[in-house]
Each structure stands twice: as C-alpha cells, then as structure tokens.
Structure 1
Amino acid sequence: MTDSLLEVRGLHKSYGGVRAVDDVSFSVGRGEVIGLVGPNGAGKTTLVDCIFGTQQADSGTVTLAGKSLSGPSERRARQGLSRTFQHPQLALELNAVDNIIPGLYGHRITSPLRSLWWAIKGPFENWDKASDQASALAREYSISDTESACGDLSLGAQRLVEVARAMATGPEVLLLDEPFAGADHDGIDAISGAVRSIAAQGKGVVLVDHNVDLIAELATTVVLLNFGGVAFYGPPQDCLSSDAMREVYFGSDDEEGVSNARGR
C-alpha cells in the first residue's frame, strides 16, 4: 500500500451557475500515477488549477504529506507541489538549460520568467552551478538538444523541458496538464519515460490527458471526470471497460464507439 502524499477532499469550483469542479476527492500515494481523464469541459484543468492554487476553490481541502495547502501557487510550490501547463510556458528564445534554471529558484518564485529575472539579478556567482544542475536535469529527462532555442524544438521536446524545470523545484507531487498534446511518437515515448522515472523516485504524479489508452499504460489509478464530478475512480482497466466510461463519452453502452475513441 502506498504512503499517501496528496489528499484532495470535496473540492468545488463554480462559475456563476456552472459547477466546473463538483465535490471531487482522490488521493495520490508515493510512486503513484493518478490518471485524470474526461471529455472536453469535464473540469480537468480547473481541478489542477484549484489543487495548485492558480485558482482558488470555493470549498474543499488539499493536503500534502498531512499539511494543509492553501493560498496562492507560490506558497504551494514551496510546500512541495509543481506543475506543467497545457501550453508550454517557456522563454522560446532561450535554450533548454536556460529554461530549466528558473526551476532551481522555484522555491522562491514560481513564474518562470520572474524566476529567471531573479536568478540573473541575484547571485551571479551561482549561475555556473545552476547551469551545471540544469544540464544534469536535461540529461536525466532525455533532452538531447540543449543548444538550440526552445522555439526551434519539437513540441514534445518543449514539454520535456517543462517537465525538467518542474522537477528542478524538488516537488513531492507533480501535476502534468496534457503533457502529450501535440507530441510526436518519439516525444510521447520520452515523456512516458519521464513519468515512469518520476514515479520510481517515490514522487506522486497527477497526469491529465485525453488518450485513455496511454493513461491506462502509465496510471496506477484513474479518476474519470464528467461535468466536474467523479464518474469513476479505480484501476485503469476497470475504467476502460466500465459503464461509466461508455456513458461519459457516448451517453450509451456503445462498445464500438468506445473502441474507436481509445487512443485518439
């Protein structure tokens, strides 16, 4: 049985009369990958935002290693959370190493560009050390091109840079918001390897994606969201064959429809 790291209990977030996150609860253990799936508009990114503090939940609690997380994302990052975004937030004119360096200062500032400004304006004597550490992280996460500007890298490679930068903060739990989106086959393989490596380090991972077969390969547990609420919570293969899965995606028990949608 895994040691619990992240506990999400009864999270709610509404916009007017729309419940984007509706009484969501789940836990993440050490070395565990939670796959967060659901159709567009199910509330996946809003849920991740509420966990990280990018948005404030209306009610509910988030705890990490038994300690309550509250307030803005900067505070939660200092407490051991890190994340990536649907659209990579990189300084595209800089190379991978220079984009990873801000993560080493992430316990102070979570905004990548603000972190880079702090690093440049702060202890110049630490820059070479930070560059060596960032280079080591690039190697660890299979980023082969550390010389080119990130704007010239494939989308999959850009997402790997974001993963490496997020891990540079030394988190206990990593939130990955659609890290495979737009990645080619090689990029998907590299990102999948990074997810497995992070879990093997005893970290917790929350992995958001639309590809349910890919989630099933990587996740130890799946949370299926629909209209902001939890429609299924359990083992990946049970989710794939569940009535909840068929109902969420197709509004019926259409086996052929589920088969056609898997891997899309």
Structure 2
Amino acid sequence: MTRLLEVSGLHKSYGGVRAVDDVSFSVGPGEVIGLVGPNGAGKTTLVDCIFGTQQADSGTVALAGAALTGPSERRARQGLSRTFQHPQLAAELDAVDNIIPGLYGHKITSPLHSLWWAIKGPFENWDRTAQRAREIAARYSVTDVESACGDLSLGAQRLVEVARAMATEPDVLLLDEPFAGADHDGIAAISGAVRSIAAQGKGVVLVDHNVDLIAALATKIVLLNFGSVAFYGPPQECLASDAMREVYFGSEFEEGA
C-alpha cells in the first residue's frame, strides 16, 4: 500500500522523561490509525511532534515520501492538518467565518488569528468564499452556521474544527481527542465525518481515550504506554491482546477478575 504518512523512530524527552520513545507507524490512503493509551502515554506529544508544534529530538516524519521538517506552518503547506484537544475557534464568530481561514491554508494558532483572517480576508471575493465555507460545513455535518461558535455544543465546535482543517485540503488529518466532551449526537456526527474523510482517500490519525469507539473506526491501532508502542495492528487483535490488558489493567490482571 502507498504510504501517505510515515513516522519513523520518533523520540521526545523532557529531562529524564521519555514522552515519545522510538515510535514508528504509517498511514495509507483511506486509512484511519487509532492512537490510544492511558493518560500520560504520550499521545498528544506524538501528534505535536508529527505536526511540528514541538520538535522531536530524533526520528523522521515524511508525507508522500517527502520529509516534513521545520515548523507546523510549513508542514501544513505540505499537506498536513490537525485539530486540537481544546477547540481553537473565535467564539464570537459563526461557523462560516471560522472555516474561511482554512480556505487560505493558514494554520490557526489562536482564536485571535481566526478573527483577524475573517476580518482581513479578500473582500472582493467574500460572497464566493463564504459560499465555499458553507459547502464545506454541510459536507462535514455542521448544521448551525449562523450561531456564534461559543454558543454551540462542544461536539458541534469540534465539527467546525474538522471542517476548517479539511478546508486546507490536506492529505493527512490529525485529530486530537475529537470526541472529548461530545454528546451522543456529536459523537455520531464526528464519526461520520471521519468515515467521510477516509472515503476520500485521505489518511487520518485519530486520538481518543474511548478504545471501543476508536476500534470501530480505525484500520489499525497504535497502543502507546509510557511513550513506547505496546501494540500496532488491527483493532480486534489489539483489544484481545495481552498488551492491552497490561496497559489498562496491569500485569497481574487475570481473565474474569
């Protein structure tokens, strides 16, 4: 299989703590790689190192065979996009205005940045740009495009972030805990968006604590524990593995206990 994203031997330490320890995996077209593990396993640090929000100490990240180096802005231009654990939206603006910056390929680093691009965008093409944003919103099940994003449910806010990230037309999308705080309807909508993205031939790296939910969406699972890969393979094999039992229940866990 063609590999869109190739992560090889990534390391990241803070003092004597190895947050990411020799992590390798790949993402092919249409694949959803689930990244799971307990709190402190290194999931978000790994995503940060892949996207360039943090610089890895060693190892490589490649997209379509080309090395990804430098800051996240450069990696975004090369075809990588992401969402964040805490939605980075301009709360006072509606979904359309929050999606528009993605159409210009600008990495969103703060709500203020989003607001600035919504205000300073190319006014001569504003109607056409807004219509494109509405189409992207509809594609990813963002149904309320008129309310201020700060008034939306957390699940709806996360959908707006997904739509904005996909407006950049990435090859691979990194989703950092997109289901956190979402209600049942939000989880269903976000799951549908993930499936839609994969159906387009995009690669997805999906981080979350809900292992069963990840297993229902993922092609493969990367199970992290103390920064290292404890298991890498098909979801059902991961759920049934000794590694899963040891990571979540400890080495003394016994069947039926």
Normalised by the length of structure 1, the TM-score is 0.93
Counterparts in 2 of 1:69-148, with a 5 A limit?
A: 69-106=68-105, 108-111=106-109, 113-114=112-113, 116-118=115-117, 120-148=119-147
In 1, Cα distance between the equivalents of 2:122 and 2:146? 24
Q: Offset of 1:198 from its aligned partner?
A: 0.1
In 2, Cα distance between the equivalents of 1:211 and 1:75? 31
Q: Offset of 1:122 from its aligned partner?
A: 4.4
In 1, Cα distance between the equivalents of 2:24 and 2:58? 12
Counterparts in 2 of 1:179-190, with a 5 A limit?
A: 179-190=178-189
1:57 aligns with 2:35: no
Normalised by the length of structure 2, the TM-score is 0.96
**Identical-pair percentage:** 83
Q: Is contact 1:7–1:27 with CA below 8 Å preserved after alignment?
A: yes
Give the SS at the match of 1:4: coil
Q: Which residue of 1 aligns with 2:232?
A: 233
Structure 2 CA distance for partners of 1:22 and 1:128, relative to 1, 3 Å:
same
Q: Offset of 1:254 from its aligned partner?
A: 3.6
1:212 aligns with 2:229: no
Q: Offset of 1:117 from its aligned partner?
A: 1.9
Q: Offset of 1:121 from its aligned partner?
A: 2.5
In 2, Cα distance between the equivalents of 1:256 and 1:138? 46
Q: How many residues align?
A: 255
1:169 aligns with 2:192: no
Q: Is contact 2:88–2:109 with CA below 8 Å preserved after alignment?
A: no
Give the SS at the match of 1:164: helix
Q: Is contact 1:37–1:210 with CA below 8 Å preserved after alignment?
A: yes
Q: Is contact 1:81–1:173 with CA below 8 Å preserved after alignment?
A: yes
Structure 2 CA distance for partners of 1:153 and 1:115, relative to 1, 3 Å:
closer
Q: Offset of 1:176 from its aligned partner?
A: 0.1
Q: Offset of 1:116 from its aligned partner?
A: 4.4
Q: Offset of 1:109 from its aligned partner?
A: 4.3
Q: Is contact 1:83–1:166 with CA below 8 Å preserved after alignment?
A: yes
Q: Is contact 2:27–2:203 with CA below 8 Å preserved after alignment?
A: yes
User: Which amino acid letter does the alignment assign opposite residue 32 of structure 2?
Assistant: V
Q: Is contact 1:109–1:115 with CA below 8 Å preserved after alignment?
A: no
In 2, Cα distance between the equivalents of 1:93 and 1:122? 17
Q: Offset of 1:201 from its aligned partner?
A: 0.1
Q: Which residue of 1 aligns with 2:155?
A: 156
Q: CA RMSD in A?
A: 1.3
- Consecutive unaligned residues of structure 2, counting only runs of 5 or more, are none
In 1, Cα distance between the equivalents of 2:90 and 2:118? 14
User: Which amino acid letter does the alignment assign opposite residue 200 of structure 1?
Assistant: A
Q: Offset of 1:119 from its aligned partner?
A: 5.0
Structure 2 CA distance for partners of 1:92 and 1:118, relative to 1, 3 Å:
closer
Give the SS at the match of 1:176: strand
In 2, Cα distance between the equivalents of 1:36 and 1:244? 14
Question: More displaced, 196-205 or 145-154?
Answer: 145-154
In 2, Cα distance between the equivalents of 1:191 and 1:26? 24
CA displacement, residues 165-224 of structure 1 (integer Å, 9 cap, x when unaligned): 000001000000000000000000000000000000000000000001001100000000
CA displacement, residues 76-101 of structure 1 (integer Å, 9 cap, x when unaligned): 00000000000001011111111111
Question: More displaced, 247-256 or 87-96?
Answer: 247-256
